[in-house]
């Protein structure tokens, strides 16, 4: 059918803020340890416990050859890092890393460190190897008495993603904080981030970074925080636990069922936000447990302490180096402020009245001391219903600046709700769409989200911030799917949804130009699916390419036992079938297979065996 779009460039719609599209980072799906935090050793300080996950022991991710025992006694490294390993003379412990093991790249450098206590003359032999043999030269560390930190550097002689790090001792030794970091972290920062993941996030060009979660933030045993009698496990997420020297950051149970080392903490989040040019937007717990747990903590002293912590957080981010918390930021290496302007209290609070009573106290205290900070409130766990309406009413009545909404719905819902914000009150609180996704990483999901985002943008006077959720997922430790960026221990890849976010974030307009259309264009004709495999490495080879539909039906398979006539090439370069594999014989080739359409192609899994590491 004919249709007409009318655009009048002189007609000026609302301005679109540069911060409009951002990212929501949550430590879920091992987004931090085993993910964005570049540490390669798992359970480096022997703190894993059943409080984190019923299957854990203090030696999870370690194997011992010879007597080795994890102790929690007065000989510990410090009060917050309570467990350490006691290794007998002649014993060896080996760490398995994450996923298939420790990933090292030939020619790259890796910084090893360990805290050890052992008699003078004790030698620690540190080995990096996989089943095929050494991955680097063995390093010797000569221990000298009381707890000290020792370091050594490895240069990998081979590439492997199945590496193991082993420490052997010639005499009894106590070990803690056994660590291995790639030298090549994002921006070469110490205690840094995994480069490929950080760069993928940076490439989005996000306007803001909401962190450190979600449900992660406001659940846990809030009461434990008031206990001053030593370190308590399973505390709610508190930013002060995550700063300072890493060996003094206690680990904690993560809401998503694993241990979080806090090696990636608030300082690192602020630094990352600054590096990628994103506005930092931390979320603090509100003492009401959302995320399915209907509980409000009634403890005035505890509430006051959390409010004070929030004021201290603002001082940590923005205060001068002469202030107490600004001084701690400076000590960690950042004398200049981080320019915090927005802060969220609570997440998905499903007790709106209880939440709001606490939120009001946070807001009053923050506004009294920092009137320029925007305090973001909540609308509950659902995008509609009584809780949602009550929360919005409370927020509206109190003149709250901005309210966080979350929803995870079908692609159809996103297509049907493009007009969601057309009717929002222009004089009420602004919207922070802090979490949304259309329940899938297929192309149709990405497309539905893109369509929905045009509705967000059209309403840029009301919707001020929006972020897809969640951001990261390690493919072997998934609690929540879909996710924007996927990874394992050696590779990462953006979803179709990632490409949509990238497109919008890298092309944010200054102002909406209102438009109207006379009808809705119909999509007709066959739907065509295509699978593209791209590589830039000469000698890269593929085998057993299979595409299956969401319900397991094989849509395409090629084991290259015959010819490769199914494949057409784009790009310069040549490929040939050799020994049942499809091999690239020179560089700069891309090959793409196109097949006739079936809507099932919109939900597919691609399986491919690449028999040589490629440049992409
Ligand atoms: O994004 C995953 C989870 O979804 C978040 O933790 C929570 O806020 C929401 O329920």
Quote the tokens at residue 493.
């890849």
pLDDT of 534 reads: 66
Are residues 209 and 246 located together in one domain of the fold?
Answer: yes
What spacing in Å lies between the alpha carbon of 215 and ligand 1's midpoint? 5
Q: Clarify whether 348 is annotated catalytic.
A: yes
Rounded CA-CA distance 167/3 in Å is 71
Q: 494 in ligand 1 pocket by Cβ < 6 Å? A: no
Domain count along the chain: 3
Atom of ligand 1 nearest to the CA of 408: 4
Q: How far is the CA of 197 from the centre of ligand 1 (A)?
A: 20
Residue 325 Cα, ligand 1 centroid: separation in angstroms? 30
The CATH number of residue 156's host domain is 2.60.120.260
Same domain, 412 and 458: yes
Q: Would you state the pLDDT for residue 580?
A: 86
Q: For 535-566, what is the HEC assignment?
A: ECCCCCEEEEEEEEECCCCEEEEECCCCCCCC
Binding site membership of 480 for ligand 1 (Cβ less than 6 Å): yes
DSSP string, 193-226: B-HHHHHHHHHH--SEEEES-SHHHH-SBGGGGG
Say if residue 180 is in the same domain as residue 292: no
Residue 348 CB–ligand 1 contact under 6 Å: yes
* Ligand 1 contact, 214 CB (< 6 A): yes
CA of 292 to the centre of ligand 1 (A): 11
* 582 in the same domain as 498: no
Which among 29, 33, 34 is positioned nearest to 489, based on CA atoms?
34
Q: What pLDDT, on the 0 to 100 scale, is given for residue 297? A: 79
Stretch (H or E) spanning 186: none
Within a domain: 12: no
Question: Using an 8 Å Cβ cutoff, are 353 and 387 in contact?
Answer: no
pLDDT by residue (tens digit) across 380-403? Answer: 988 999 999 999 999 999 999 999
For residues 70 and 192, membership in a common domain is answered with no
Buried b (16+ CB within 10 A) or exposed e, 362-377: bbebbeeebeebbbbb
Tens of pLDDT, residue by residue over 139-188, are 999 999 999 999 999 999 999 999 999 999 999 999 999 999 999 999 99
Q: Is 213 in the pocket of ligand 1 (CB under 6 A)?
A: yes
User: What are the start-end ranges of the E strands in 212-297?
Assistant: 252-254, 258-260, 279-284, 288-289, 295-296
Q: Are residues 508 and 546 in the same domain?
A: no
pLDDT number for residue 603: 56
Ligand 1 center from residue 235 Cα (angstroms): 19
Is residue 462 a part of any domain in this protein? yes
342 and 213 share one domain: yes
CATH number of the domain residue 231 falls in: 3.20.20.80
Whether residue 381 is found in the same domain as residue 460 = yes
Spell out, as residue ranges, where the chain has pLDDT lower than 50: 223, 225-231, 524-528, 596-601, 613-616
**Of 25, 27, 28, which is best to mutate to test ligand 1, by the most ligand atoms within 8 angstroms of its C-beta?**
28
Does a structural domain hold residue 4? no
- Which one of the listed residues 348, 349, 435, 449 is annotated catalytic? 348
Q: Which of 184, 208, 225 is the last residue of a domain?
A: 184
Q: Is 282 in the pocket of ligand 1 (CB under 6 A)?
A: no
For 258-281, the pLDDT digits (tens) are 999 999 999 999 999 999 999 999
- Residue with CA nearest ligand 1 atom 9: 214
Identify whether 52 is part of a domain. no
Residue nearest to atom 5 of ligand 1 (CA): 214
Q: For residue range 532-577, what is the model confidence (pLDDT) as tens digits?
A: 666 656 677 788 887 776 666 677 788 888 888 777 666 666 788 8
CA 466/CA 402 separation, integer angstroms: 12
Instruction: Give the residue numbers spanning the domain of 289.
Output: 21-33+188-515
CA distance 213 to 535: 35
């Amino acid at each position: 059918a004919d249709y007409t779009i009318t655009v009048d460039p002189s007609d000026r719609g609302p301005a679109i803020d540069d911060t409009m599209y951002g990212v929501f980072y949550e430590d879920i799906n091992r987004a931090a340890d085993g993910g964005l935090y570049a540490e390669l050793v798992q359970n480096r300080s022997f703190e894993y416990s059943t409080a984190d996950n019923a299957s854990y022991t203090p030696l999870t991710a370690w194997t011992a050859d010879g007597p080795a025992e994890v102790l929690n006694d007065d000989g510990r490294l410090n009060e917050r890092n309570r467990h350490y390993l006691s290794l007998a003379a002649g014993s060896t412990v080996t760490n398995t890393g994450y996923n298939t093991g420790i990933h090292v790249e030939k020619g790259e450098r890796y910084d090893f460190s360990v805290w050890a206590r052992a008699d003078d003359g004790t030698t620690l032999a540190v080995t990096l190897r996989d089943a095929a043999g050494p991955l680097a030269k063995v390093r010797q560390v000569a221990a000298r008495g009381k707890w000290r930190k020792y370091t050594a550097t490895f240069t990998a002689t081979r590439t492997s993603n199945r590496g193991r790090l082993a420490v052997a001792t010639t005499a009894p030794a106590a070990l803690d904080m056994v660590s291995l970091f790639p030298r090549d972290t994002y921006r070469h920062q110490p205690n840094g981030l995994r480069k490929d993941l950080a760069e993928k996030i940076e490439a989005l060009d996000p306007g803001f970074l909401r962190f450190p979660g979600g449900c992660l933030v406001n659940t846990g045993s809030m009461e434990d925080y008031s206990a001053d009698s030593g370190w308590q496990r399973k505390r709610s997420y508190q930013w002060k636990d995550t700063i300072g020297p890493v060996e003094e950051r206690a680990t904690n149970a993560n809401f998503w069922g694993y241990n979080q080392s806090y090696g990636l903490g608030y300082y690192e989040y602020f630094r990352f936000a600054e590096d990628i040019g994103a506005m930092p937007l931390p979320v603090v717990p509100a003492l009401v447990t959302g995320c399915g747990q209907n509980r409000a903590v009634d403890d005035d002293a505890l509430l006051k302490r959390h409010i004070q912590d929030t004021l201290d957080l603002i001082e940590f981010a923005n205060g001068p180096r002469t202030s107490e918390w600004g001084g701690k930021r400076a000590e960690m290496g950042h004398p200049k402020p981080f320019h915090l302007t927005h802060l969220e209290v609570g997440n998905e609070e499903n007790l709106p009245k209880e939440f709001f009573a606490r939120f009001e106290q946070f807001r009053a205290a923050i506004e009294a001391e920092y009137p320029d900070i925007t305090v973001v409130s909540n609308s509950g766990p659902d995008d509609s219903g009584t809780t949602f309406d009550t929360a919005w009413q409370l927020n509206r009545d109190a003149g709250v600046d901005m309210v966080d909404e979350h929803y995870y719905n079908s692609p159809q819902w996103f297509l049907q709700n493009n007009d969601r914000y057309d009717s929002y009150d222009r004089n009420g609180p602004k919207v922070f769409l802090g979490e949304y996704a259309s329940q899938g990483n297929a192309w149709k999901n990405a497309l539905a989200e893109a369509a929905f985002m045009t509705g967000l943008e059209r309403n840029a006077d009301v919707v001020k911030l929006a972020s897809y959720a969640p951001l990261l997922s390690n493919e072997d430790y998934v609690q929540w799917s879909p996710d924007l960026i996927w990874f394992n221990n050696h590779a990462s890849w953006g979803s179709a949804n990632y490409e949509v976010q990238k497109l919008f974030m890298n092309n944010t307009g200054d102002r909406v130009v209102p438009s109207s259309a006379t009808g809705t264009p119909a999509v007709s004709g066959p739907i065509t699916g295509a699978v593209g495999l791209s590589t830039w490495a000469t000698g890269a080879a593929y085998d057993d390419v299979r595409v299956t539909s969401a319900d397991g039906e094989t849509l395409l398979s090629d084991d290259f036992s015959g010819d490769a006539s199914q494949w057409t090439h784009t790009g310069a370069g040549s490929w040939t079938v050799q020994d049942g594999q499809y091999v690239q014989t020179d560089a700069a080739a891309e090959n793409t297979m196109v097949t006739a359409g079936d809507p099932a192609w919109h939900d597919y899994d691609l399986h491919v065996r690449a028999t040589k590491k490629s440049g992409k």
